Amino acid sequence: MILSTHAVVGGAIASLFPSHPILVAVAAFASHFAIDAIPHWDYPLRAIRLKPGADNRRLLDPRFLRDLALIGFDACAGLLIATWLFATPATIGVIVLGALAGMMPDPLRVVHRVLPKQPLTTLQRLHRWTHTKRRLRWPLGISSQALFAASVSWIVLTVG
């Protein structure tokens, strides 16, 4: 899933038990793997390669900046939406924590490319194993993510 979807789900989880930040961090981090298992669409990266054995030596490629801008925009949009939906002045810190923890496994893939050591190796194996092998096409794969994030938000905002 894209980072925004992970951030919104992480923020929603945080809003359920805002006084338990460790539980929020663990549950939001775990939610990443659960929702990556749902068939979806991910935007293609042009320079950053995450597959095992990929060559990332050409990171000064201008396409690398485009990838970074796209990832940065996605992460910031997710953080903004999660805080707008779930945060109050008292809970903003824990909502941001939940959103960041929900997104975290994806940047850890990049860290693992640079530093292929444990426990990152096991985490990446888990990430690949839980991640759906079914790639939906644009626009179905993105509209279904928006609908999923909206449904989770609606449930948490009405029930939670």
Residue with smaller CB distance to Zn ion, 18 or 78 = 78
Q: Do residues 75 and 11 touch, judged by C-beta distance below 8 A?
A: no
Q: Do residues 10 and 151 touch, judged by C-beta distance below 8 A?
A: no
Residue with smaller CB distance to Zn ion, 67 or 106 = 106
Residue with smaller CB distance to Zn ion, 87 or 104 = 104
The only residue of 7, 36, 78, 97 in contact with Zn ion, by rule CB under 5 A: 36
Residue with smaller CB distance to Zn ion, 12 or 87 = 12
Residue found under tokens 């096991």: 122
Residues 6+ apart with CB under 8 A from 93: 21
- When asked if residue 74 is in the footprint of Zn ion (CB under 5 A), the reply is no
The only residue of 106, 108, 142, 153 in contact with Zn ion, by rule CB under 5 A: 106
Q: Do residues 121 and 30 touch, judged by C-beta distance below 8 A?
A: no
Name the segment binding Zn ion (CB under 5 A); options: 38-46, 59-67, 100-108, 116-124: 100-108
Q: Smallest distance, Å, CB 74 to Zn ion?
A: 12
Residue with smaller CB distance to Zn ion, 11 or 18 = 11
Nearest residue (beta carbon) to Zn ion: 36
Name the segment binding Zn ion (CB under 5 A); options: 7-15, 30-38, 113-121, 134-142: 30-38
**DSSP one-letter string for 85-110:** HH--TTTHHHHHHHHHHHHTHHHHHH
Residue 8 burial (C-beta neighbours within 10 Å; 0-12, 13-18, 19+): buried
List contacts with Zn ion (CB under 5 A).
36, 106
